[in-house]
């Protein structure tokens, strides 16, 4: 048995907040806050969403209905996991979302800068 691993794929991609995955796709925002999805198996681009550019996005969280990201203004944005289209957004108040979002079967758990802790359910 060998020690270590062998890279399956790599990509030149700048990200400061970290990605999320649903087992099929990898979701991440780039340094300009453009959201991307890549196929997990081979790294091929699936979609990109430029509508949230320069919003200081949080790390994404995967929920059954969508992928969610928070921003500098206290909004949580929901994107389609399959094609990246914007499904909706909601303000949780309290300013910038700085903590990582936590996805669950019931929605996404969000904490804003002022300490507001909110579970946002998705229809």
Show pLDDT as tens, one digit a residue, over the chain (123 residues): 557 788 888 888 888 889 999 999 999 999 999 999 999 999 999 999 999 999 999 999 999 989 999 999 999 999 999 999 999 999 998 889 978 899 999 999 999 888 889 999 887
Q: Which fold has domain 20-120?
A: Lipocalin (2.40.128)
pTM over 0.95: no
CB atoms within 10 A of CB 99: 15
């Amino acid at each position: 048995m060998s020690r270590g691993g062998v890279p399956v794929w790599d990509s030149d991609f700048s990200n400061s907040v970290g990605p999320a995955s649903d087992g099929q796709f990898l979701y991440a925002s780039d340094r300009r806050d453009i959201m991307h999805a890549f196929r997990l198996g081979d790294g091929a681009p699936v979609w990109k969403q430029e509508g949230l550019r320069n919003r200081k996005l949080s790390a994404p969280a995967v929920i059954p209905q969508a992928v969610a990201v928070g921003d500098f203004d206290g909004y949580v944005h929901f994107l389609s996991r399959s094609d990246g289209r914007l499904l909706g957004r909601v303000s949780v108040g309290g300013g910038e979302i700085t903590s990582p979002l936590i996805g669950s079967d019931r929605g996404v758990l969000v904490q804003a800068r002022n300490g507001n802790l909110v579970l946002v359910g998705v229809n």
